[in-house]
């Protein structure tokens, strides 16, 4: 038996009795970042593929919410900072080894580009729209002319943004649950799946909805595969990682993870989407909401469970 | 120059004088601390073994806290000290999460704080407050590159360990066993 106690009464808030320095802000920020990345990925992908007209929901309609998602996400990140007046220090250096740093810079690039994307597609919602100032008209002309380049840039940046939402966690070797390279692809896939789901909601064309339902089912399949792989990796690893996996395999996060994330957030919506494709009548908003819920819960559960996991010494 | 500390787990009685000395010396806000004392009991009754350790930031040579800091507020100072510059710190908490030893805390003023090896004292040639005050004289401080420093000499004589060496942080606080 081994028992370890702190006898001098260390009671640093946010650390004792266990680490909880990150609350709801970070998982919400990562969810919104991942969702925005997912929507932008498909929007730019279909422009690059030259299929803009078949996939108007993805290219023109869904991205309208992206700037809002990113702004709320950044606001959540800002609220999480405890030394707020100094937040601008984030933008005084680029530190490649710090995911927090390059994530902030990627967002700095993606956010304005997402505004541009919405602006050049504004007539999808407001057909009679005319920019009041000449400069906007000129800018619009410029971006429409170089839209393909814009799409390539967004395709690249949104992939990085999606992976970043996972790497922010996996870069911490102090928290064994997070310290797995599967987290990058897993969170990217989860963001893409959430993005595909939102596009289903925005799309007006049945064919496009079916296409994205198929994509979503595939992405959910990949997510399940990655989750199984992650646990296989943990269980074949060192004691600390076995302990970390046990948080989900009998420990306190077992029920929330398997019920909310895997069953309600992945398997159920995949089944509903499958039935929908098979022409059963299911309101498509139901699987969409479930996928979004699952994606959000994945971030929350990983954020909190990761802070419970630690080295033993 | 590489500053390091060696702490004798066989002499430490867990009186917590080092904790109080640090709080006083460094004006640590009430309810927080930069160092702390851990008691580990190992074995089954009646074969029990106790180890008492005074712990603090290890001023790691390969520190994840410096690596993950987005602003450079967490940095290496001369002598391998790992320090935080308050006016550069945005309080994102990444370094708190990154430390395998939970050695950092969020200061009520917003920035992140931790042990500095009493840099202001060692610059004047004094010992860190905890080392100075320990009634059993169980702590040794000095420069690893100087073979005659207290810490180099005791590490030559005694067996020692570091905490979680498998985390790859290369700690600069050694525990004599
Ligand atoms: S003990 Fe923690 S805070 Fe100190 S240098 Fe090492 S990783 Fe950083
Ligand atoms: S809390 Fe401060 S010192 Fe720590 S990583 Fe963030 S900016 Fe750097």
Strands B139-143 and B3-8: antiparallel
Q: Of B168, B174, B170, whose CA–CA distance to B156 is shortest?
A: B174
Q: Of A227, A225, A243, whose CA–CA distance to A298 is shortest?
A: A227
Atom of ligand 2 nearest to the CA of B104: 4
Q: Is the CB of B93 under 6 A from ligand 2?
A: yes
What is the pLDDT at residue A96?
92
Q: Quote the ligand 1 centre to B113 CA distance (angstroms).
A: 11
C-alpha distances in angstroms, A93 versus A81, A170, B33, B135? 17, 22, 30, 45
Q: Is the CB of B34 under 6 A from ligand 1?
A: no
What digits encode the pLDDT tens for the residues A29-50? 999 999 999 999 999 999 999 9
Whether pTM exceeds 0.90: yes
Report H helices in A81-133: 99-120
Indicate whether this complex's ipTM tops 0.85: yes
- Please give the domain boundaries of chain B with CATH numbers for all domains: 3-176 (3.30.70.20)
pLDDT (mean) for B148-162: 97
Using the Cβ of A4 and the Cβ atoms of chain B, whether some distance falls under 8 Å is answered with yes
What is the pLDDT at residue A4?
80
DSSP string, B107-160: -TTSSEE-----HHHHTTTPPPHHHHH-TT--EEEEETT-TTSHHHHHHHHS-E
C-alpha distances in angstroms, A204 versus A36, A65, A272, B109, B166? 20, 16, 19, 52, 55
| Every domain of chain A and the residues it spans | 25-308
Atom of ligand 2 nearest to the CA of B88: 7
What digits encode the pLDDT tens for the residues A255-297? 999 999 999 999 999 999 999 999 899 999 999 999 999 999 9
Q: How confident is the model at residue A312 (pLDDT cuts 50, 70, 90)?
A: confident
Q: Is the CB of B116 under 6 A from ligand 1?
A: no
Cα gap A4→A238, rounded to integer Å: 20
pLDDT at A11 exceeding the cut of 90? no
DSSP three-state, residue B82: strand
C-alpha distances in angstroms, B113 versus A18, A160, A230, B56, B103? 18, 32, 34, 12, 9
Closest protein CA for atom 4 of ligand 2: B95
What is the pLDDT at residue A9?
73
What is the pLDDT at residue A3?
80
Cα gap B90→A84, rounded to integer Å: 6
Cα gap A275→B77, rounded to integer Å: 62
Edge-to-edge strand ranges of the sheet holding A2-6: A2-6, B36-44, B47-55
Q: How confident is the model at residue A77 (pLDDT cuts 50, 70, 90)?
A: very high
Q: Is the CB of B59 under 6 A from ligand 1?
A: yes
What pairs with residue B132 in β-bridges?
Answer: none
Q: Quote the ligand 2 centre to A175 CA distance (angstroms).
A: 17
pLDDT (mean) for B114-133: 97
Q: Do A21 and B43 touch (CB under 8 A)?
A: no
Q: Do A92 and B71 touch (CB under 8 A)?
A: yes
Q: Do A82 and B110 touch (CB under 8 A)?
A: yes
DSSP string, B15-30: --HHHHHHHHHTTPPT
pLDDT (mean) for B37-45: 91
Q: Do B170 and B61 meet the contact criterion of CB atoms below 8 Å apart?
A: yes
Residue A92 burial (10 A CB sphere; 0-12, 13-18, 19+): exposed
Q: Do A86 and B87 touch (CB under 8 A)?
A: yes
**Residue with the two structure tokens 């597609």:** A121
A 235-294 residues with CB < 8 A to B: 238
Q: Do B165 and B49 meet the contact criterion of CB atoms below 8 Å apart?
A: no
Mean pLDDT of chain A: 95
Using the Cβ of A137 and the Cβ atoms of chain B, whether some distance falls under 8 Å is answered with no
What digits encode the pLDDT tens for the residues A205-237? 999 999 999 999 999 999 999 999 999 999 999
What digits encode the pLDDT tens for the residues A158-186? 999 999 999 999 999 999 999 999 999 99
Which residue among A3, A4, A100 places its CB closest to the CB of B94? A100
pLDDT at A6 exceeding the cut of 90? no
Cα gap B38→B101, rounded to integer Å: 12
Report the chain A residue with the minimal C-alpha distance to residue B54.
A8
Q: What angle is formed at CA A153 by the lines to CA A152 and CA A159, rounded to 5 degrees? A: 95
Cα gap A304→A22, rounded to integer Å: 8
Q: What CATH number is given for A25-308 in this structure?
A: 1.20.1630.10
Cα gap A163→A289, rounded to integer Å: 23
* Rounded percentage of chain B residues whose pLDDT exceeds 90: 96
Q: Do B36 and A98 touch (CB under 8 A)?
A: no
Edge-to-edge strand ranges of the sheet holding B173-176: B139-143, B3-8, B173-176, B160-161
């Amino acid at each position: 038996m081994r028992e370890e106690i702190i006898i001098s009464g260390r009671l640093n808030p946010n650390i004792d009795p266990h680490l909880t320095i990150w609350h709801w802000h970070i998982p919400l920020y990562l969810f919104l970042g991942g969702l925005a990345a997912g929507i932008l990925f498909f929007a730019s992908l279909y422009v690059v593929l030259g299929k803009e007209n078949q996939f108007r929901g993805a290219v023109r309609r869904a991205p309208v919410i992206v700037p809002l998602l990113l702004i709320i996400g950044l606001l959540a990140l800002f609220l999480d900072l405890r030394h707020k007046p100094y937040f601008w220090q984030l933008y005084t250096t680029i530190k490649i080894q710090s995911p927090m740093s390059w994530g902030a810079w990627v967002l700095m690039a993606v956010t304005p580009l997402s505004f541009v994307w919405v602006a050049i597609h504004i007539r999808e919602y407001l057909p009679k729209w005319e920019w009041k100032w000449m400069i906007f008209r000129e800018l619009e002309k410029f971006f429409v002319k170089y839209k393909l380049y814009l799409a390539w840039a967004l395709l690249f940046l949104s992939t990085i943004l999606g992976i970043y939402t996972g790497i922010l966690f996996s870069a911490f070797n102090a928290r064994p649950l997070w310290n797995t390279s599967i987290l990058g692809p897993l969170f990217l896939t989860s963001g893409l799946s959430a993005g595909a789901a939102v596009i289903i909601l925005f799309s007006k064309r049945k064919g496009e909805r079916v296409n994205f339902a198929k994509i979503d089912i595939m992405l959910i399949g990949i997510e399940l595969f990655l989750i199984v792989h992650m646990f296989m990796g943990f269980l074949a690893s060192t004691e600390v990682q076995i302990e970390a996996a046990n948080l989900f395999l009998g420990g306190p996060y077992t029920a929330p993870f398997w019920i909310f994330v895997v069953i309600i957030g992945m398997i159920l919506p995949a089944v509903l989407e499958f039935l929908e494709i098979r022409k059963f009548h299911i309101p498509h908003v139901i699987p969409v909401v479930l996928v979004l819920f699952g994606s959000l819960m994945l971030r929350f559960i990983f954020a909190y469970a990761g802070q419970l996991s630690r080295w033993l010494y | 120059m590489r500053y390091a500390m060696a702490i004798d787990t066989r002499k430490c009685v867990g009186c917590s004088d080092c904790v109080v000395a640090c709080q006083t010396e460094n004006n640590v806000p009430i309810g927080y601390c930069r160092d702390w004392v851990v008691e580990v009991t190992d074995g089954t009754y009646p074969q029990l073994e106790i180890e008492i350790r005074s712990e603090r930031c290890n001023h790691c040579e390969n520190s994840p806290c410096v690596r993950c800091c987005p602003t450079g507020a967490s940095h290496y100072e001369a002598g391998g000290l790992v320090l935080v510059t308050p006016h550069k710190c945005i309080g994102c908490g990444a370094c708190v999460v990154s430390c395998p030893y939970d050695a950092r805390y969020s200061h009520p003023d917003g920035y992140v704080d931790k042990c500095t090896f009493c840099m202001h004292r060692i610059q004047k040639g004094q010992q860190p407050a905890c080392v100075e005050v320990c009634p059993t004289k169980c702590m040794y401080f000095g420069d690893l590159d100087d073979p005659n420093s207290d810490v180099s000499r005791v590490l030559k004589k005694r067996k020692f360990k570091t905490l979680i060496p498998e985390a790859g942080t290369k700690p600069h606080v050694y525990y004599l066993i």
